[in-house]
Structure 1
């Protein structure tokens, strides 16, 4: 049974983020993680039962940190277009500046160990933005929320591979969600 969080567990997760960024999820072996952490292989098994449980913990940690950064950035505005716009910008900016984004956004979509995690996280984000879309006036905000999550995740990947923000895509997604914003180039401003 895995031990609760402690410095050794954190060191292994930190090392995994480095390996995932450098080698991707396919290169995320237990040997690579313990070598990067400077720990014995047995230490890994004191904290994680197997590679699958480790990768899930690493994925959750990445997304929990991303969520915390986004929520800190947007504050607590009332549901609506301003909150949605701020959240999308915060998410895209955080993806560009967070270690392991390629592994945990692109590669996690095809990693069978993470499929349930990816789907659960997407449902959670969709549920969070559903009130924003309802406030904008969408008749089926749940369906639109699902599509917005997919569009924004795709923009994050395009920006990641391009090496920076793609303002045209950021503006386009806002204009697709809120036709009243057409012509508003500040839709998802990059700072």
Structure 2
């Protein structure tokens, strides 16, 4: 059974982000992680039963950090277009600034161990923005929210590969989100 969070577990997770930045999720082996953390392999297994649970923990931590940035940006705001714009901008800015974005946004889509996690995070963010879309007049706000989550994730990837914000994509995404439904 894994131990609760402590400095060793945190060091292993930090090392995993470094390894994922260099080699992607496919190169994220237990040996690479413990080498980067400067720890014995046995220490890894005291905190995580296997590589899968470790990768899931990394993915969760990454998205919890993103969610914290978004929630801080929209704290106290009522649902509506301004909250939606600010939340999306906070997400995109955080993706550009956060280590591990490429591994956790692009590569997690093909990592079979993370498919359930990706789906759950997409649902979480869709639930967050559905009230904004309802205010904007979208009848099936939950369905539209899932599409917007996908659109914004694609924008984040385009920005990642450009290594800079893509104002034209952000403007197009905002225009689509705020378009009055027919």
Q: Indicate yes or no: 2:28 matched with 1:28.
A: yes
CA–CA distance in structure 1, aligned partners of residues 97 and 59 of structure 2 = 16
Counterpart of 2:2 in structure 1 is 2
Query: 5+ residue gaps in structure 2?
Result: none
Structure 1 residue 2 displacement after superposition = 0.6
Q: Indicate yes or no: 2:27 matched with 1:55.
A: no
C-alpha offsets along residues 91-146 of structure 1, whole Å, 9 cap, x if unaligned?
A: 00000000000000000000000000000000111011000000011111111101
CA–CA distance in structure 1, aligned partners of residues 110 and 16 of structure 2 = 18
Runs of 4+ more than 4 Å apart: none
Counterpart of 1:188 in structure 2 is none
CA–CA distance in structure 1, aligned partners of residues 171 and 143 of structure 2 = 21
Pairing 1:147-186 to 2, within 5 Å after superposition = 147-179=147-179
**Which structure: greater helix fraction?**
2
Query: 5+ residue gaps in structure 1?
Result: 181-191
CA–CA distance in structure 2, aligned partners of residues 70 and 139 of structure 1 = 25
| Structure 1 vs Structure 2 CA RMSD | 0.8
Question: Under a length normalisation based on structure 1, what TM-score does the superposition of the two structures give?
Answer: 0.93
Question: Under a length normalisation based on structure 2, what TM-score does the superposition of the two structures give?
Answer: 0.97
CA–CA distance in structure 2, aligned partners of residues 172 and 62 of structure 1 = 26
CA–CA distance in structure 2, aligned partners of residues 178 and 13 of structure 1 = 38
Structure 1 residue 179 displacement after superposition = 2.7
